[in-house]
Structure 1
Amino acid sequence: MATHGQGVLGALIRTQSNTSLHRPPSVVWNRATPDDEEHGPRRLSQDGDIEDFRRSDERRLSAMLNGPQMRSQRLIGNSNPRYRWERYWKTKDELRAMKKPIRQYYERTNSLIQQYVYIDRLLDSSLPHDLLNEYTNTTSSGMGMVEVPPTICEEGDAAIHANGNSPAKKLKRTPRELYRLSNEQTPLLDGDSDAENGGPKADIPAVEDDMVESGDRIVRIAIYVNLAANAVLLAGKIVVILLTSSLSVLASLVDAALDFLSTAIVWTTTRMIERQDQYQYPVGRRRLEPVGVLVFSVVMVTAFVQVALECLNRLNSDDHQLVELGIPALVIMLGTVFVKALCWLWCRLVKNSSVQALAQDAMTDIVFNVFSIIFPLIGFYMKLWWLDALGGLLLSLYVIFNWAGTSASHIRNLTGAAATADERNVLLYLTMRFAKTIKQIQGLQAYHSGDKLNVEVDIVLDENMSLRDSHDLGESLQYVLESVPIVDRAFVHQDYAGWNLPTHMEQQGS
C-alpha cells in the first residue's frame, strides 16, 4: 500500500498541477464550437489574446463597480444622520412654562430643528441617488467613445435627436418636483410618529405655499377673480364717497383703488415672467415681481400721505359737522367686507405664493373696511365730530408704516443683502449632509437676488476623483440646493485643496 501522498492519485494530481502551472502561455485551448466538431478543438490565441481577455475582465469588473447603484453609494453613501434632534425639541407645554425671552429663543430653535429634520428626510431618501444616477443615461460609461452629433443645436430637442436616439426619461428638476416626488421610496412627510407624540415635525417654510406653480390655471383664475372683485368694489366705494363725506370711507376708497392697481401689477408681472426670453433675460424675469411690489408700495405710501393730510386739515378746520352713513352706503360697505371675506376664504386654499399674498391682502382689507364703517358710525351716534377724521388718520398711518416697511425690505433684497443666520445655517447643514465624499466646506455665501437667494458653495473633494464624478456630484448638490424654496440659483465650486485664492476678482483687496 502506498503511503499518504505517494499513490497513483497523488502523482496524478501533482502532474496536473505542474502542467497547469508551467503550461506555455502561447497555447490556450478554447471551448469547442459546432463548427469545430469536424476539425477538433480550435487553438485560439497567443499572448495578445490572453491580454485581451484580462482587459475584458477588468472592464466588466470596472463596469460593475462603477454602475449606477455602486457609484451613487460610493460618492454619496448611505444614511448619515448626525444628530438626534428630538433631544433638543421643546413641546408646547414646556414652551408655555417659560418666560417670553427664553420662549422666543426655543421657538426659534424648534423652527430650525423642523427644517433640519426635513433635510434629513430629504437626503436619506432615494432622491440624491436618483439625481446622481440620472447622469448614467446621458454620459459615456467609460467603455466607448462619446458620440458627437454632426450638428450642435441650441434647442434641446434637436440636440437630443441629432444622433437618432430617443431621449431618456429624466427627473423634472423643479423645486416642486424635487421636494414632492411621487415615486420616492422613502416618504418625506409621512410617518411622523415623533410629531404625533409631540416631537419635531419635518417642515420647510414656504414649501406648502409653492405647491401650485405660477403658470397653473387655478392661479390665473384666482388673479382674474380678485381683479374683477376689486373693480366692482372700487365702483361701489366711488358711489359711497358721493353719498357721504366720511374721511374713513375716503381712506377705504383709496385702499380699494390701490388694491385694484396691485392686482393688475401682479397679473402683469405674472404674464411677463411666463414669457421667457433666454437672449434678453437669460435667467428669467423673476425680479420683476419684487420691482413691481416696490413701485406699488411707493404709490401706496404717497396716496395715503395725501389722505392723512386731508384728515389733519379736517381736524384743524372749523367744520364740526357729523358724518352720517346712510343705508345705501352702509350696505355697499358691508358688501365689500362680505366679498373680501369670500376672496380670502378661497385664495387661502390655493397653495401658491402669489395667491397667498392676495389672500393676506384680502384679510387686511376686511379689517380696514370694518374700521372704516365703525369710526363714522360711532362718531355719529356719540356726537363726536372728530372721530371720523381721527379714524381716517389712524388708518392712513397704519398703511403708511406698513408699506414703508415693505418697500424697505424689497430695497434691501434687490441690493443683494445677506441671508439671515437661520437661512444660512439650513443651507450649510444641507451641504454638510449631502455626500460623504465632501471632505471640507471652504465657504458658503447666501445673498438676496430679489425675493430669493443666490447661494455660492465651495467644497473640497479628493484630488484623485475623476472629472465625471466631481461634476455629477457638484451638479446634484446644486439642484438639491436650488430645490429649497428660499433659493433662486445655486453655484457649487469644487476644489482639491483646503486653501484657495479668492473666488472672485473683487475679493482680492478684502
Structure 2
Amino acid sequence: MDVKAPLLSSTEDQKNNQTIRCDSINSLRCDFVSKLPENVRSGLDPEAPFHLDVTKTTGLIYATVKSGSLAIAASTLDSLLDLMAGGILWFTHLSMKNINIYKYPIGKLRVQPVGIIIFAAIMATLGFQVLVQAAEQLIKDEPSDKMTTDQLVWLYAIMLTATAVKLALWVYCRSSGNKIVRAYAKDHYFDVVTNVIGLVAAVLGDRFYWWIDPAGAIILAIYTISNWSGTVLENAVSLVGQSAPPEVLQKLTYLVLRHPQIKRVDTVRAYTFGVLYFVEVDIELPEDLPLKDAHAIGESLQIKIEELPEVERAFVHLDFECDHKPEHSVLSRLPNSQP
C-alpha cells in the first residue's frame, strides 16, 4: 500500500477494497511462515521433497526399533518433528479457510499459533522424555545390549542413505539461484549433523564405550527442546497481546495524520492478537462536522489501515475533544476474582 495515497478513497477504489483485503488475508501464510524456523518452513513448502522426508522418517523409525539406540531415537524425533510440523500447520491453514461467521465472527487466524504451541509443546515433551531415559541409563550404569551384525547393516544402510539424501539436498539448495530454496539449505545441513551425531554415537556406544550412545541422545534431545521452546515462547507472546514495534506505530500515525480535517490524534495503538495486529485509533474531529462526513472519514481510515498486510482489524474512534479519560481500562485481573 502507498502511504502517500489520498485517505478518502474514490468510488472505484472502494469497489476494490474487498479484493485488496482478500489479497492481504491470502498473504498471511507467507508472512507467518517466514517467521518460523527453517525446518517448519520446509515442511510447508509445496515444492519441498515431502515424499523424501516421509521415506527418510519411516526408515529412521525402523532403524530406531531395530537398533534400540537412544541416539538414533533422538535423531528420529527431530526428523519426525519436521514432518509432523508441516502436516499440522498445513491442516490449520486449511481450517482457517472454512469460516463460520456466526460461530467465529472474526475468523480463525489464531488457529495457526495455537496449533504450533500445542505441537511444539508435545515435541519438546517427547524430547525431554528421551533426555530422561538417557540420563537414567547413565545414572544406573546399565549398558544396552550389543547390536547384531544384521542390526548394524540395517542401521548403516538407513542412516547413511538418509544422510546422503539430506546432504544432496543441502548441496542443491545451497547452489540454487532461488533465495527461498537457499534458505532451506540450513535446515538440511542440521539434519545431516543430527543424523551423523546419532549414527556415530550409536556405533561408538555399541563397539567401544556404551555411555556414548545415551550421551549423544542427550545432546540431540537438548537441541530439540531448545529449538522448539523458543518457538512456543514466540507464538505464546503473539497471543498475549504484545505491542507492535515502533516502526509499525510510526507508519500508522503517519497514515492517520495525513487527513486535513483530523484536528488531533489522541491514541494509536497496535498489538498482536495471533499472527497479525489489531489496531485502535482515537482521533479528534471538528465539533460542528456533519455526522455523514465524520463517518466517511472514520470508515475510509479504517479501510486504509486494514489494507496494510500486517493488520487484521482496525477500530477507529471519533471524538470532538481529547481531554477526557481513556475510554477503556486495562484489566490487571479477571472480573469477580480475588485481588
Please confirm whether the aligned pair reaches a TM-score higher than 0.5, indicating the same fold. yes
C-alpha distance in 2, partners of 1:390/1:248? 8
What secondary structure is seen at the aligned counterpart in 2 of 1:236? helix
Structure 2 length-normalised TM: 0.74
Structure 1 length-normalised TM: 0.51
C-alpha distance in 1, partners of 2:316/2:13? 22
Superposed, 1:58-207 pairs within 5 Å as 122-124=2-4, 128-129=5-6, 132-135=8-11, 172-174=19-21, 206=31
Greater RCO between the two (CA within 8 Å, min separation 6)? Answer: 2
C-alpha distance in 2, partners of 1:176/1:360? 30
C-alpha distance in 2, partners of 1:222/1:392? 32
In the other structure, the counterpart of 1:256 is 79
What secondary structure is seen at the aligned counterpart in 2 of 1:173? helix
C-alpha distance in 1, partners of 2:272/2:16? 34
C-alpha distance in 1, partners of 2:113/2:177? 21
In the other structure, the counterpart of 1:407 is 232
Percent identity for Structure 1 against Structure 2: 29
Relative to structure 1, the CA distance from residue 208 to residue 333 in structure 2 (aligned partners, 3 Å threshold; closer, same or farther) is closer
In the other structure, the counterpart of 1:34 is none
Code of the aligned partner of 1:475: E
C-alpha distance in 2, partners of 1:392/1:496? 66
Confirm or deny that 1:426 pairs with 2:306: no
RMSD of equivalent CA atoms: 4.1
* Partner of residue 275 from structure 2, selected from 424, 446, 451: 451
* Partner of residue 329 from structure 1, selected from 142, 155, 165: 155
Relative to structure 1, the CA distance from residue 479 to residue 345 in structure 2 (aligned partners, 3 Å threshold; closer, same or farther) is farther
In the other structure, the counterpart of 1:368 is 194
Relative to structure 1, the CA distance from residue 462 to residue 368 in structure 2 (aligned partners, 3 Å threshold; closer, same or farther) is farther
Code of the aligned partner of 2:111: L
Relative to structure 1, the CA distance from residue 268 to residue 208 in structure 2 (aligned partners, 3 Å threshold; closer, same or farther) is closer
**Which structure dedicates a bigger proportion of its chain to helix?**
2
C-alpha distance in 2, partners of 1:499/1:425? 27
Confirm or deny that 1:292 pairs with 2:115: yes
Deviating more after overlay: 315-324 vs 238-247: 315-324
Pairwise CA distance, 1:396: 0.7
Pairwise CA distance, 1:232: 1.9
Relative to structure 1, the CA distance from residue 240 to residue 177 in structure 2 (aligned partners, 3 Å threshold; closer, same or farther) is closer
Deviating more after overlay: 228-237 vs 338-347: 338-347
CA deviation map 1:57-88 (0-9, x unaligned): xxxxxxxxxxxxxxxxxxxxxxxxxxxxxxxx
What secondary structure is seen at the aligned counterpart in 2 of 1:488? strand
For structure 1, list consecutive stretches of 5 or more residues without a partner in the other structure.
1-118, 139-167, 181-204, 211-218
C-alpha distance in 1, partners of 2:190/2:156? 19
What secondary structure is seen at the aligned counterpart in 1 of 2:286? coil
Superposed, 1:350-361 pairs within 5 Å as none
C-alpha distance in 2, partners of 1:467/1:264? 51
In the other structure, the counterpart of 1:502 is 326
What secondary structure is seen at the aligned counterpart in 1 of 2:10? helix
Pairwise CA distance, 1:363: 6.0
For structure 2, list consecutive stretches of 5 or more residues without a partner in the other structure.
36-43, 332-339
CA deviation map 1:162-220 (0-9, x unaligned): xxxxxx56672238569x9xxxxxxxxxxxxxxxxxxxxxxxx959959xxxxxxxx78
Pairwise CA distance, 1:368: 2.8
